[in-house]
Amino acid sequence: MRQRQSRGRARNGTSAVEFAVVLPFLMFMVVVAVDFARVYRQAQVVMSASRNGALYGSDTPAKAADTAGIQAVALREAVDLAAPPTVTSVTGTDADGNPYVRVTVSSPFQTITRYPGVSSSMTITRTTQMRVAATQPAGQGY
């Protein structure tokens, strides 16, 4: 009786070759995921800094005019960024006659690698506008 040879023996090492072919693509996807996570995190920090600065400025009309205080509060939120962000604040009056404070925070960002068709450096900017609370008369608490 003759024994039949299995076809599986002729395929020794194919999984290693397939892995070697797919590995560069997998590594590229990991780097893309890490860059996306870094951009998302920095955008969240910049947004939080903008909100905290606007929240500080919206407390009273005196704090809305305190640009140094607004900047200090916003920068305190963004201490773990690689480069300190730029913080600007503007006060004004909206269409309904209500005073507001608008805080803009900008931070530069650099990707880990260069991607075809995508800039490797960008600026992440977030702006928050809040209405300034009216001043309470002395002794008129809640």
Write the DSSP assignment of 111-136 as a string of letters: -SS-BTTB-SEEEEEEEEEEEPPPPP
Mapped onto helix, strand or coil, the DSSP state of residue 16 is: helix
Query: Which stretch of DSSP H or E encloses residue 54?
Result: helix 14-57
Name the strand (E) or helix (H) holding 2: none
Residue 100 counted as domain residue: yes
Greatest C-alpha distance within the chain:
108
Please answer whether residues 69 and 54 qualify as being in contact, where contact means their C-beta atoms are separated by less than 8 angstroms.
no
In a domain, 138, yes or no: no
pLDDT at 52: 96
Residue 6 pLDDT: 57
Residue 1 lies in a domain: no
Q: Quick check: 8 pLDDT over 70?
A: no
**Number of domains the chain contains:** 1
Q: 6 lies in a domain?
A: no
Q: What are phi and psi of 98, to 5 degrees?
A: -90, 135
Of 55, 34, 45, the residue nearest 130 (C-alpha): 55
Q: How many residues does the chain have?
A: 142
Asked if residue 66 is part of any domain, the answer here is: yes
Given pLDDT bands bounded at 50, 70 and 90, which one contains residue 13?
Answer: confident
Q: What pLDDT, in 10s, does the model give residues 87-136?
A: 999 999 999 999 999 999 999 999 888 878 778 889 999 999 999 998 76
Domain that holds residue 81: 17-131
CA nearest to 46, candidates 81, 1, 11: 81
Is residue 44 included in any domain, yes or no? yes
Residue 29 structure tokens: 């996807």
Whether 114 maps to a domain, the answer reads: yes
CA-to-CA dists, residue 8 to 1, 13, 54, angstroms: 21, 11, 68
